[in-house]
Structures are given as C-alpha cells and as structure tokens.
Amino acid sequence: MFNKIKHRNTKQRKVILEELKKTTLHPTAEMLFKMVKKRSPKISFGTVYRNLNLLKEQGQILELTCGKDSCRYDGDITPHYHFFCLTCKKVFDLNISVLDKEEKLYKDIYKKTGLAIKYHRLDFYGYCKECEIKMKEIKKSDK
C-alpha cells in the first residue's frame, strides 16, 4: 500500500516537473495546476502546491519573486534574469549575460566583507512592450 502511494506521488511529481519545464510562462501554482490537470485530471491543487515546494527544496525548480498572493515558478534552474511586467504580470526571461560568470564580484565581496556568496538574484520590473503601447494609446486619447 505504502509503495503504491509512493509510486503515485513520484509519478505526479514527474508530471508537474515536466509541465513546468515545458512552459516559458513562469506560472503560478494555479496556472501550473490547470496545465497539469490536462494530463492528470485527478490531481488536486494541494498536490501541485506541495510538490512545487518539495521540488524547490530539492533545487530542481526555482521560486521567483512572489506577488501579493502567489509565487511564480521556473523549471529552468540555469542562472538567468527575469522581467516582470507591472501591468499584465507577465514574467519572461531576459536574454542578457549573467553578472559575475567568473565570480570576480563574489571574490570582491568576500574580500570586503568576509561573506561567502553562493548565488545572487536580480529582477527587473517595468512595462512589457504590449502594455507600453496600450498605455501610450490611453494617454493619446486622454488629450
């Protein structure tokens, strides 16, 4: 019985991880729940949520900046930066080089402070292209 449950849990976790790795949307738990449900109709939101936390603790996925009530998740754990649209809440990868590939900055910080840096995060916030166009149109029509 125990093994059966364990097997089911492992299978569900695999599906969750696969669906998260497939998308570039950086979904919230709710968004991912809807995606996973298409493949595993019986899965519950609690299961998705629990497994996201577990996968995060195992270092298999990333939890990005959390908004008011939900966090965004990323199946791509290679170092990269994100852009967060303040209006439509879209999150996407920024194709820019990651600071400190040679770890010079970390060494400098260590020299100055004695702190051993293991990783860093850098998030960018603003308006995506679509939202900027819409905002400009609204401004124009206000005049």
93 near Mn ion, judged by CB under 5 A: yes
74 binds, among Zn ion, Mn ion, none (CB under 5 to 8 A by kind): Mn ion
Instruction: Out of 74, 75, 84, 128, name the contact with Mn ion by CB under 5 A.
Output: 74
Angle between helices 2-22 and 45-57 in degrees, nearest 10: 80
Of the candidates 100, 96, 71, 70, the residue with the CA atom closest to the CA atom of residue 83: 96
137 near Zn ion, judged by CB under 5 A: no
123 near Mn ion, judged by CB under 5 A: no
SS3 6: helix
The residue range among 14-22, 28-36, 107-115, 130-138 that interacts with Zn ion, by the rule CB under 5 A, is 130-138
Report the C-alpha gap between 24 and 120 in whole angstroms. 21
Q: Which residues bind Zn ion (CB under 5 A)?
A: 85, 87-88, 128, 131
